[in-house]
Amino acid sequence: MGDELSEFRAAALHFLETNARHRVVATQAGWGIGSDSIGLLDAHADRAAEAAALARSREWRRLVFDHGFGWAGGPVALGGGGRNPLLDEEYRRLEVEFDVPDQQPFATGTHLVAPALLAHGSPELQAKYLPGIFRGELVVCQLLSEPEAGSDLAALRTRAVRDGDHWVVTGQKVWSSQAHLSQVGQLLVRTDPDAPKHQGITMFVLDMDTPGVTVRPLRQMTGETHFNEVFLDEVRIPDANRVGELGSGWRAVMATLMSERASVGSGANNSAIDPVARLRDMAEHLDRANDPIVRQRLAALHTNAELRRFLIGRHEAAMQAGKAPGAEGSILKLLFGDQAVRCAALASELLGPSVLADSGEWGTYAWGRWITGSPMMRIAGGTDEIQRNTLAERLLGLPREPS
Ligand SMILES: Cc1cc2nc3c(=O)[nH]c(=O)nc-3n(C[C@H](O)[C@H](O)[C@H](O)COP(=O)(O)OP(=O)(O)OC[C@H]3O[C@@H](n4cnc5c(N)ncnc54)[C@H](O)[C@@H]3O)c2cc1C
């Protein structure tokens, strides 16, 4: 797709340069210049600031979509460009170099839920939700994990009972990122309690304003309330909102989870800020760049970042060849989580107490968010241990874990 790619790149760059400014990345501009945010999920002072930021994000998403860059790979009948889906990744790579409103709120919809809807949803369901997801009108959350079903997701207990052309759903979900902002939820429920546990599960699309849905925020270590508990009390969902056949929810969600691992691991959810470069500048600023231990740790971080870069290339080539996302997403996710935590450890060591109290000094307290936020990267989308199990069984061919 050489010609198509260069023509697309040129058009996308023209659009971005016309409508946005290049991002001033501190590591390019020098220590102390520009924002010192490290950018592991954007923070908001309160719910009003969050709502205002989302409105700006939506406005930008709409502009992008209406200029043909929001869903280049999507079917024309649904408002997409009918082109190679890899163009969408190319656009994302270009966009992060520009100072545009945070597009993170849309990533769950576009990267995780849309693939499941495209693969398994009815044409009516696709037409109802997909254009809104890609145009930023619909923010989407995933209602998968439950208090007793996280790593062992197939143990989920939220029940759906058929009532005519509706299902009545009762149960509880937890850790539901951005559910408080969402219009739509990707919901996994048990429709057949007598079937073997992986076969009695069905996926639905839930309109979050349906009576009986209660969203309650959970505060995390960063101080923010990014995720929630979601209570479902006799929630009526039309059968038309079912994604795929009855009992096919496990297969449908597996596609989502593989995309999620690859997406988290490849940094699809992150900004252009390079934490390793930021740490290198910090070491120089603090006169620690010649400390052999610091140098060794920086070199290890750089090596890990390069490994990820090559693996992302390999993953993209596989996608381009039409292969479904596979176990390599688990490698990317493991490397990403490991890198995030190792960056946090080096920042803590270099900065000492100044990450704990905001003295106003540039590039210090800002790391506090990264340090408290990075452990989540080893849990979200499947824990490190689960990724290792996946790799052991699916790539190395080791015996399956006893069930
Ligand atoms: C930032 C963040 C965002 C999230 N967003 C969402 C969301 O939007 N929607 C959603 O549905 N969920 C979400 N989650 C939930 C996430 O998917 C779960 O936390 C994760 O799957 C782990 O489940 P659990 O918390 O129940 O831990 P458990 O499954 O109870 O695991 C506890 C510990 O036991 C280990 N363990 C469990 N089973 C095994 C095994 N077989 N072998 C070895 N070790 C094992 C785990 O690795 C872990 O260390 C989010 C989580 C985080 C941190």
pLDDT tens, position by position, 44-95: 778 899 999 999 999 999 999 999 999 999 999 999 999 988 899 899 989 9
Residue 233 inside a domain? The answer is yes
Among 190-194, 248-252, 292-296, the minimum mean pLDDT is found in 248-252
Q: Do 174 and 271 belong together in one domain?
A: no
Residues 365 and 266 in one domain: yes
CATH number at residue 195: 2.40.110.10
Say how many Å lie between the CA of residue 122 and the centre of ligand 1: 30
Q: Report the distance separating Cα 319 and Cα 206, nearest Å.
A: 29
Ligand 1 atom closest to the Cα of residue 177 is 8
CATH code of the domain containing 7: 1.10.540.10
Reported as a pLDDT band with limits 50, 70 and 90, residue 272 is: low
Mean pLDDT of 13-26: 87
Domain total in the chain: 3
- Is residue 175 within 6 Å of ligand 1 at its C-beta? yes
Tens of pLDDT, residue by residue over 284-343, are 999 999 999 999 999 999 999 999 889 888 887 887 777 776 777 889 899 999 999 999
Ligand 1 centre to CA of 228 (Å) is: 14
Are 98 and 147 in the same domain? no
Please state the rounded mean pLDDT for residues 359-363.
88
Nearest ligand 1 atom, CA 148: 26
**Number of Cβ atoms within 10 Å of the Cβ of 211:** 8
Q: Any residues with CB less than 8 A from the CB of 358 and at least 6 apart, and which?
A: 365
Do 231 and 365 share a domain, yes or no? no
Point out the ligand 1 atom lying closest to the alpha carbon of residue 383: 47
d(Cα 175, Cα 178) in Å, to the nearest integer? 9
Average pLDDT estimate for 240-250: 96
Per-residue pLDDT of 114-154, as tens digits, reads 999 999 999 999 999 999 999 999 999 999 999 999 999 99
Mean pLDDT over the full length of the chain: 90
Task: Indicate whether 400 belongs to any domain.
Answer: no
- Domain with 276, as residue range(s), is 252-395
Q: Identify the CATH number of the domain in which residue 333 sits.
A: 1.20.140.10
Residues 51, 28, single domain; the answer is: yes
Please indicate, yes or no, whether residues 86 and 187 belong to a single structural domain of this protein.
no
Q: Give domain status of residue 99, yes or no.
A: yes
User: Of 222, 247, 272, which residue sits at a domain end?
Assistant: 247
185 lines ligand 1 (CB under 6 A): no
Of the candidates 247, 267, 299, which is a domain's last residue?
Answer: 247
Verdict on whether the full-model pTM lies above 0.85: yes
Query: What integer is the mean pLDDT of 18-26?
Result: 81
Whether 87 and 120 map to the same domain: the answer is: yes
111, 146, 151: residue to mutate for ligand 1 pocket, most atoms within 8 A of CB: 151
Identify whether residues 209 and 321 lie together within a single domain.
no
Q: Is the CB of 230 under 6 A from ligand 1?
A: no
Higher pLDDT, 38 or 221: 221
Residue 386 Cα, ligand 1 centroid: separation in angstroms? 9
pLDDT score of 1 more than 70: no
Are residues 199 and 132 both part of a single domain?
A: no
Cβ of 227 closer than 6 Å to ligand 1, yes or no, is: yes
Contacts of 328 (CB under 8 A, 6+ apart): 262, 311, 314, 315, 318
Whether residue 361 is contained in a domain is answered as: yes
Do residues 260 and 390 both lie within one domain? yes
Q: Is residue 401 part of a domain?
A: no
